[in-house]
A and B are shown apart, each in its own frame.
Chain A
Amino acid sequence: DTGVSQNPRHKITKRGQNVTFRCDPISEHNRLYWYRQTLGQGPEFLTYFQNEAQLEKSRLLSDRFSAERPKGSFSTLEIQRTEQGDSAMYLCASSLATSGSNEQFFGPGTRLTVL
């Protein structure tokens, strides 16, 4: 399968714990995005990378959130000291910078539940 993959698919954690999610984009895509989606809402942009450079971060991305893409391939999103309000689906997407329309391909998401 050459699509975007995310791991784990589900994560249940206790408040205050740290969690890390992984995203593997489509191999030739140089842009990678993270979104958060809460129940009944559309995805909200968190951050994006072009190659290994993190070029933009949303105000939604508090200082407890950090994302990396060390070699310009896979990316990780870490949430420190999780709170119940962090419960959501975290979606990763990738695209080609040369795609004029910025068409993005989405992974299946990681559903986080904070107890």
Chain B
Amino acid sequence: AQSVTQLGSHVSVSEGALVLLRCNYSSSVPPYLFWYVQYPNQGLQLLLKYTSAATLVKGINGFEAEFKKSETSFHLTKPSAHMSDAAEYFCAVSAINDMRFGAGTRLTVKP
């Protein structure tokens, strides 16, 4: 069965600092992996996706993620945090008929 685990339910960074949100996956087949962002009382917006074309994936709003098969990881990074990045972030793996999500990481950005 495919699943993802997000390490750290809450991450706090200062504005301008590096953002690192961790995600590890479990999959018996080459996975399709996603990062979504959710703002309060809104749906999920796709940040980026890994579909095996390239291990370093660039997404919207300056985010990127690197697929590391040896570490079964797909961590999300952004070089410089902005106040508007404060939100909930979800890592997900595409299963056969649905998508499996991690529990989420709440990112707080301090001025």
Q: Identify the A interface with B (CB < 8 A).
A: 4, 6, 33, 40-45, 48, 55-56, 91, 93, 100-109, 111
- Smallest Cβ-Cβ distance to B6: which chain A residue: A42
A40 touches B103 (CB 8 A): yes
Residue of B nearest to A33 (CB): B98
User: 21 A-B Cβ contacts within 8 A?
Assistant: A33-B99, A41-B104, A42-B103, A43-B44, A43-B90, A43-B101, A48-B97, A93-B44, A100-B32, A101-B49, A101-B51, A101-B94, A102-B94, A103-B46, A103-B49, A105-B46, A106-B36, A106-B44, A108-B43, A109-B42, A111-B41
Complex alpha-carbon distance, A43 and B36, angstroms: 11
Q: Are B94 and A42 in contact (CB under 8 A)?
A: no
Q: Does any Cβ of A come within 8 Å of B45's Cβ?
A: yes
| Chain B interface residue number, banded | 20 to 34
User: Taking CB as reference atom, which chain A residue is nearest B33?
Assistant: A101
7 closest A-B pairs (Cβ-Cβ)? A42-B101, A45-B98, A106-B43, A101-B32, A102-B94, A106-B44, A108-B43
Complex CA distance for A74 and B99, rounded to whole angstroms: 20
Q: Do the beta carbons of A55 and B44 come within 8 Å of each other?
A: no
**Is the CB–CB distance between A56 and B97 below 8 Å?**
yes
Inter-chain contact A48/B46, CB cutoff 8 Å: no
